[in-house]
A and B are shown apart, each in its own frame.
Chain A
Amino acid sequence: MSDVARQAVADRLYFRRRIVNGVGLVFATLSTGFGLFWLAWILWTTFYTGISALNGKLFTMMTPPPGDEGGLLNAFAGSAMICLLAILIGAPIGIAAGTYLAEYAKKSRLGEAIRFFNDILLSAPSIVLGMFVYTVVVKQVGHYSAFSGSLALALIVLPVVVRTTDEMLKLVPGAMREAGLSLGVPQWKVTVQILYRAALPGIVTGVLLALARISGETAPLLFTAFDNQFWSTNVAQPMASVPVVIYKFAMSADAGWKSLAWAGALIVTLFVLALSLISRAILLRNKVSND
């Protein structure tokens, strides 16, 4: 082959590689635009429709019958109670289990097994967790209750807190443990009074992330906490929650209900986004101060 022909082949090859590269890079950039596009669109719809549905009655009136005007007060109160109770149940167990993984089990076989199955629980479909609580609690008691809803949500809180606690305790330098133990402080006291204090921002972040996850969670509440049109603070009875009310109202044909659903959706979205921003900020600050 002559030099000229060889050069022509090389040029063609080079040209093709550059085309492939160009197409690939454009594709990657467009993909990112694609992702951001949906984010912007969904947030825009939620804000735009939600804000026009906002008014003072939202926080002062109960969920109305169709055709009437009203607010979401009982749903907000119900959500707050159900979620708080879920955190109170799930977080302590999660912190304890995370402590076991980081401080005692470490890389043992049992520890690795717990980590493995905890990660599966973390991504398990929430509706199945609701079904589990329904079968174990609701069916045995005979009626829906806010408490069973909290139990279902606690199952979502648990793996999130286990994982963050485990990871945050692992970040605490071993020298701290050794310093405490060498002074004759028993291990439980080292853990509770030294390690928890050092890992506190991380553990709090885990709890906040868990709260963010459960405050918009709908599926497991459908057949545990169910719904209640009226004000209720009795955790042994059905209770309204914002996501379930949104679901019910959005699926209806009533315009007033639909607009309330959008207002609720806006509040839930704002709350969840604020929580995730706050937990990010805590983590970031913590990282800087540790360096």
Chain B
Amino acid sequence: MAASAESLAIAQSDEQRARRDGRKDRLFRRTVAGAGVFVLVMLAGVALTTLWGGREAFATFGFKFLVSSEWDTIGKQFGALAPVYGTLVTAAIAMIIAVPVSFGIALYLTEIAPTWLRTPVASAIELLAGIPSIIYGMWGLFVFVPIMGKYVIPWLNDHIGEWPLIGPLFKGPPLGLGMLTAGIVLAIMVIPFISSVMREVFLTVPTRLKESAYALGSTTWEVAWDIVLPYTRTAVIGGIFLGLGRALGETMAVTFVLGNVHRLSLSLLEPGNSIAATIANEFAEADSEIFRSSLIALAFLLFVVTFIVLAIAKLMLRQMERKEGK
């Protein structure tokens, strides 16, 4: 009699404990799931609030906001064309420089360098990615801009400036500030991102493939160009888009060296502007609601463009992961 009462009590307390555990488990699960969904909410929040904040600019200027290069803070006429153009041009210059260099670095670190040298050099290149962007900006303004203005731009003016077609791109005042300088600084900043993605995916190429090619008499370059690159193509493009996303959204480095002039000009040596630099420079001084709204609208445009670029990058990289069977 007593024994069964005791076992009943034990069974009851067991049941209570199981129920308590279950309750806590559910609570824990809901909490962490909530945190996971929070990430999605934040991203949607960024898109929606910048769209909401820019509604006045979109409503007032309509489509003209995208195609007008007018930026009149007193007359309150705002158009996004000049900063959008600057963003695209500087990012394009950065990619033209960074993509081949990153490929070279990745090739060097996976095929050419002696094994003992690979890790330290790779770490050093990745350190470049860790330096805060404001340091790039200061270095750019105080060290690189004078060099560009004194030596590089006069040389470009004299030599390439007279060429047909591309000549006008390289004709301009020797200020040092401008699209070309900003593009070069951006290139230095995105090289570590692109090269580390490339290096990682190059390492995933099966040794069997490479050695088969070597056995047939291929040179190192032929292995890189005809075996490694085709095998890793999607991921390499993904890495390039990742760098492009960085270059489009970079703020401080560009703000220092771009010159911040709202003007469309063909020459890469003229000062210009970019979306991020415009916001960083002018937001604190924005004195009217429509001015501020235009800047937030610019932020929305920047977010949409980088979102698309980064989404493409992610999809490409994911395809590569699937191939590896991850």
Chain A residues engaging chain B, CB cutoff 8 angstroms: 17-18, 20-21, 23-25, 27-32, 34-36, 38-39, 41-43, 45-46, 49, 93-94, 96-97, 99-101, 103-105, 110-111, 113-114, 116-121, 123-129, 131-132, 134-136, 139, 155, 158-159, 162, 186-188, 191, 212, 215-219, 222-223, 226, 243, 246-247, 250-251, 261-262, 265, 268-269, 272-273, 276, 280
Task: Check B283 against A114 for contact (C-beta < 8 Å).
Answer: no
Q: Does B29 contact A (CB under 8 A)?
A: yes
- Please give 20 more A-B residue pairs, beta carbons under 8 A apart, in addition to A219-B252, A243-B252: A20-B219, A29-B112, A34-B104, A38-B128, A39-B127, A110-B37, A119-B314, A126-B249, A127-B249, A127-B299, A127-B302, A131-B279, A132-B45, A218-B132, A218-B251, A219-B280, A250-B141, A265-B134, A269-B135, A280-B123
Contact A114 to B40, CB < 8 A, known contacts A99-B32, A125-B249: yes
Chain A residues positioned under 8 Å from B319 (CB to CB): none
Task: Check B276 against A125 for contact (C-beta < 8 Å).
Answer: yes
Q: Tell me the bound Cα distance from A139 to B293 in angstroms.
A: 12
A-B contact count (CB 8 A): 265
Task: Check A96 against B32 for contact (C-beta < 8 Å).
Answer: yes
Task: Check B251 against A188 for contact (C-beta < 8 Å).
Answer: no
Q: Tell me the bound Cα distance from A226 to B280 in angstroms.
A: 12
Chain B residues positioned under 8 Å from A158 (CB to CB): 39, 42
Chain A residues positioned under 8 Å from B40 (CB to CB): 113-114, 117
Q: Does B35 contact A (CB under 8 A)?
A: yes
**CB of B240, distance to nearest CB on chain A (Å):** 13
Q: Does B139 contact A (CB under 8 A)?
A: yes
Chain B residues positioned under 8 Å from A262 (CB to CB): 138
Task: Check A222 against B280 for contact (C-beta < 8 Å).
Answer: yes
**CB of A115, distance to nearest CB on chain B (Å):** 9
Indicate the member of A100, A113, A215, A273 with the most B CB atoms within 10 Å. Answer: A100
Task: Check A250 against B221 for contact (C-beta < 8 Å).
Answer: no
Residue of B37, B52, B103, B310 touching A124 (CB-CB under 8 A): B310
Q: Does B50 contact A (CB under 8 A)?
A: yes
Q: Does B201 contact A (CB under 8 A)?
A: no
Kindly specify which of B2-10, B188-196, B208-216 makes contact with the partner chain.
B188-196
Residue of B nearest to A120 (CB): B310
Residue of B nearest to A271 (CB): B132
Task: Check A135 against B42 for contact (C-beta < 8 Å).
Answer: no
Chain A residues positioned under 8 Å from B225 (CB to CB): 24
Task: Check A125 against B250 for contact (C-beta < 8 Å).
Answer: yes
Chain A residues positioned under 8 Å from B306 (CB to CB): 123-125, 128
Task: Check B314 against A103 for contact (C-beta < 8 Å).
Answer: no
**CB of A189, distance to nearest CB on chain B (Å):** 8
Kindly specify which of B20-28, B71-79, B158-166, B170-178 makes contact with the partner chain.
B20-28
Contact A21 to B221, CB < 8 A, known contacts A38-B128, A114-B37: yes
Q: Does B43 contact A (CB under 8 A)?
A: yes
Residue of A34, A45, A104, A280 touching B29 (CB-CB under 8 A): A104
Indicate the member of A35, A94, A120, A280 with the most B CB atoms within 10 Å. Answer: A35
Task: Check B314 against A116 for contact (C-beta < 8 Å).
Answer: yes
Contact A97 to B131, CB < 8 A, known contacts A28-B112, A117-B43: no
**CB of A131, distance to nearest CB on chain B (Å):** 4
Q: Does B133 contact A (CB under 8 A)?
A: yes
Residue of B nearest to A29 (CB): B108
Q: Tell me the bound Cα distance from A105 to B102 in angstroms.
A: 35
Q: Tell me the bound Cα distance from A251 to B252 in angstroms.
A: 12
Q: Does B296 contact A (CB under 8 A)?
A: yes
Residue of B42, B139, B195 touching A35 (CB-CB under 8 A): B195
Chain B residues positioned under 8 Å from A191 (CB to CB): 28
**A-B pairs with the 3 shortest C-beta distances?**
A216-B132, A125-B249, A31-B104
Residue of A18, A127, A136, A215 touching B251 (CB-CB under 8 A): A127
Chain B residues positioned under 8 Å from A273 (CB to CB): 127, 130-131
**CB of A158, distance to nearest CB on chain B (Å):** 7
Chain B residues positioned under 8 Å from A132 (CB to CB): 45-46, 49-50
Q: Does B85 contact A (CB under 8 A)?
A: no
Task: Check A100 against B104 for contact (C-beta < 8 Å).
Answer: no
**CB of A198, distance to nearest CB on chain B (Å):** 17
Chain B residues positioned under 8 Å from A124 (CB to CB): 43, 46, 249, 303, 306-307, 310
**CB of B104, distance to nearest CB on chain A (Å):** 3
Subset of 5 A-B contacts with CB under 8 Å: A18-B219, A39-B128, A43-B131, A243-B252, A269-B131
Task: Check A162 against B251 for contact (C-beta < 8 Å).
Answer: no
Residue of B nearest to A227 (CB): B284
Task: Check B32 against A97 for contact (C-beta < 8 Å).
Answer: yes
